[in-house]
Amino acid sequence: MTNNRLLLCSVFGPYGVDDPYASAGGMQMELLNNQVTREQGVHSPRVVGTFSYGLYLIAENISVPTVVLDFPRWDDFVKELRQGYSHVGIAFIIPNLHKVQRMTTYLREYYPGVKIILGGAGCVIPDVDKLVSYDAICHGEGIRWMRSYFREDSSRGIRHPAVTGRVAWYYYGNRVETISSQIFPGVGCKNACSFCHTAHFFDRRYTPFIPDGRSMFELCRGEEKKYGVSAFSVIDENFLKTPQRAVELLREMEKEGKAYSFSIFSSAETIDRVGIDFLVRLGVNFVWIGLETKKSLYGKLKNIDLTKMVHDLRANGIRVLGSAILFLEHHDEESMQEDIDWAIAMKTDLLQFMLLCVIPGTALYEQYLKAKKLIEGYPPKRMTGQGDIWFRHPNFGAPDTAATIRDAFRKSYRVNGPSTLRIIETVLRGYVKAKRDLEERAERGLVWDPEQLRYVESRAPAQVRRDIFMEKRVESMKDMVLDYRRILPTIRVFAPNRAARGKCHEVAKLYNRTFGRPSVAKRIESSVILAVAAVEAARIALRRLTGRGDIIRATPMRRTEFNMNDAEASPCPVTTVIEKTSAELASPSAVPEPSN
């Protein structure tokens, strides 16, 4: 039996505001509104309820009694420390350096006997030991590191949790609560692009947490039984890079008749290798692809027709988030705008623009450090990828970058319309195509070949050839399509231009041809959504007019206990979620000075 007691904690809020500890720019803790649907105003979906995933994975896989305190306020952190801990682990990223400095200073002053452990991406900061007081620092994969630190068996298998919990989505101001479930098949990526912090953080190799498709299927089935979920976000840098695991997962789903769906990250070359028919059958309904730059500086993009790939993915109902990098070494005014226009012309459902982030620990950082291109003394809290660059560019100065990236988002919105409209178009056309393809394959006698990952001719009787699994898949796609239909009138009313309104009209006609006209009840529901959207749009306009920026929707604080009764027992997480108002969490006055 041990007297160890561990608190694993993310940095304290508020988030997305300027204060002495952090910057507002790029730090809202909202992926979409922050750096994907930025500048889309009322059309930008808002999500509240993310997780600091690594903390839960570690807590699930050690025997030390542990509490995870996720997204706390300062007074939540201070109050929790009074519960008595032998160790406090704090996860942080580079822009939150000043927050972790404050937390560790407080610990040293009021709890000098507590051991401080640092983890997360912020640990790569050069000379971090001179900036933050700590007793141990975790680099790379944290589960085995923490087991070794507490002298547990580092070699035993990893017990993988699907981090599952309630998430609030806001579409046009309308709040919808869902159950979100994330799966972590592994960390790292062998592609190891020179700028990729994640790949370098995990030593440019892939470390699997889930070894095979059967294990992943059992995890999905367990979460379905416990929470009723059937859709999962796969948090893995390049899930399809280990294709056999995905093939085995599909085989298990077909055998058990479970048409689960997945959102994934993938490089273009892995999609090209497995094929889009496989993705559709597997249930991939969303994929994040690195577009990077038209110049194809990276091997993962060579000899790939990205425009065609994006078109084919969307035509098959797979929503695409493309990510482009601005202010690469070769960029000048002309090539920068060419890259921006090239990325916009891809017509992805969602488009992220990020500044080139030169992160310590990457090959790119070492290259720039050696060439003396880094700006000395640049404030860490402004290193967000959505404001200024922190290196000397041959053709641009730091003041140019914030306006350029803002204008890129605005142009994307103006040219392609709201992302919500593109998403609806993708899922609707994908459903229509999937239904038609299913019927045509039946007529032609085509069946799925799991070895070749494609449909092939079969002479088996029609009843044997019947694809019951894809029938279930198509039916589940239908539910999503009908769910999205209700926000289409709101998109049309708030559309930015005639082109977007015209696309709304085309999508509405396709809905009518496919499902008939909406019922009176559905039209009333759409009217309610429109009314709420009008209020939301007025709030956004007022905030912009008064210079207060975006509406801040704060992530609630979560407190989860692991092994608190018996250090040797299997973890039985107990979670408490505390939601505070945006004013409480977003006002600088909500960050008091330390008090014991």
pLDDT of residue 205: 87
User: Residue 460 has what DSSP assignment?
Assistant: S
CA-nearest of 9, 11, 3, 1 to 380 is 11
Whether the domain at 6-24+48-159+554-590 and the domain at 173-413 fall into the same CATH topology: no
Instruction: With a cut of 50, list the residues of the chain below it in pLDDT.
Output: 1, 567-572, 581-596
Which residues are paired to 288 by β-bridges? 265, 321
Both structure tokens of 595? 């008090």
CA-nearest of 355, 356, 352 to 413 is 352
Give the CA dihedral 49, 163, 64, 202, nearest 10 degrees: -100
Quickly list H helices, 319-418: 333-345, 363-370, 398-416
pLDDT of residue 65: 96
508 neighbors 490 (Cβ within 8 angstroms): no
Both structure tokens of 538? 């007025």
Both structure tokens of 11? 């940095």
Pairing of strands 186-187, 174-183: unpaired
pLDDT digits (tens, 9 = 90+) for 129-148: 999 999 999 988 899 999 99
Cβ neighbours around 121 below 10 Å, total: 19
Distance separating alpha carbons of residues 582 and 580, to the nearest angstrom: 7
Question: CA torsion sign, 582 to 174 to 315 to 245?
Answer: positive
Instruction: Please tell me the CATH superfamily of domain 173-413, with its number.
Output: tm_1862 like domain (3.80.30.20)
237 neighbors 185 (Cβ within 8 angstroms): no
- pTM (two decimals): 0.92
3-state secondary structure 212-236: CHHHHHHHHHHHHHHHCCCEEEECC
pLDDT of residue 273: 93
CA-nearest of 314, 301, 185 to 237 is 185
Quickly list H helices, 381-487: 398-416, 419-444, 462-465, 468-485
Cβ neighbours around 103 below 10 Å, total: 26
pLDDT of residue 568: 43
Phi, psi (deg, nearest 5) at residue 473? -60, -45
Domain 6-24+48-159+554-590: CATH class, spelled out = alpha beta
pLDDT of residue 16: 84
397 neighbors 440 (Cβ within 8 angstroms): no
pLDDT of residue 576: 60
Cis-peptide, bond into residue 14, ω within 30° of zero: yes
Distance separating alpha carbons of residues 68 and 153, to the nearest angstrom: 22
Q: Delimit the domains of the chain by residue range.
A: 6-24+48-159+554-590, 173-413, 424-450+468-545
Question: CA torsion sign, 174 to 162 to 252 to 205?
Answer: positive
193 neighbors 238 (Cβ within 8 angstroms): no
Report in angstroms the alpha-carbon separations of 46 from 6, 75, 234.
33, 26, 20
357 neighbors 325 (Cβ within 8 angstroms): no
Phi, psi (deg, nearest 5) at residue 391? -140, 165
Report in angstroms the alpha-carbon separations of 477 from 271, 287, 437, 480, 526.
21, 16, 14, 5, 21
